[in-house]
Amino acid sequence: MTGRARERATEATVHDELLSTLAEITETRLNRATDREGWTIRHALAAVAASDRVLAHVLGSLAAESGAPGRFRFRRLRGEVMYEAHMLQRDALARLLQQTHAEAENALADHAALLDHPIEAEGDGARSVGDLLADRAERERAALGALRQALPPGQAVRRTGGQARPA
C-alpha cells in the first residue's frame, strides 16, 4: 500500500468513526463549545461538510477545464454549505456528512490524477488539490476530537467489527 493509499484508508476510518461517534451523542451536545473560539461542535461538523463539497467542486471544475490552472474563491460555497449543515438536526446532519463525503470520494476516484494539480485559492492557503485534501482530513480529526470530548463520562465509543458500540 502506497503512502497516499494508506492516508486515504486512515481518512476513511476517521470518517466512519466520526459518524459513529456522532450517532452516540445527544442533539444538545452538538451545541458545546470547541477549542476554536466561537465555534460549537455543530460548526466543526458543518466545516467538514463544507470541506468535502469544496474538494468535489474543485476537482470537478479542474476536470472540466482539462487541468488548466485553477483559480477559486471558496468563501461563498463554504458559507452556503456550513449554513445548510448548521441548521440540521443530528440525524439529518449525519446524512449530509455521508452525502458530501461520498461526493468528495467519487470526485477523488474520478480525478485522482489532479491531486497534485496547482490551484490558486483566494483567501485560502491552498496551493494544490492535495492541500484541500489535507484540510479536509484535519477538519475531520478536529470534529472527531470535539465529539469525543462531548461524550458523557463512561460513554466512550469503541469500534467492533466496523460498528461503534458504547464501551
- Cell 484540510 -> residue: 135
Can you give the CATH number for the domain in which 116 is found? Answer: 1.20.120.450
Tens of pLDDT, residue by residue over 103-114, are 999 999 999 888
**pLDDT (0 to 100) of residue 22:** 96
Q: For the whole model, what pTM was predicted?
A: 0.84
Domain extent for 147: 3-166
Domains held by the chain: number: 1
Q: What is the dihedral of CA 49, 51, 57, 59, to 10 degrees?
A: -130
How far lies 78's CA from each of 20, 29, 55, 57, 165, in Å? 24, 23, 11, 11, 32
Tens of pLDDT, residue by residue over 76-121, are 999 999 999 999 999 999 999 999 999 999 999 999 888 888 888 7
* pLDDT over 70 (residue 24): yes
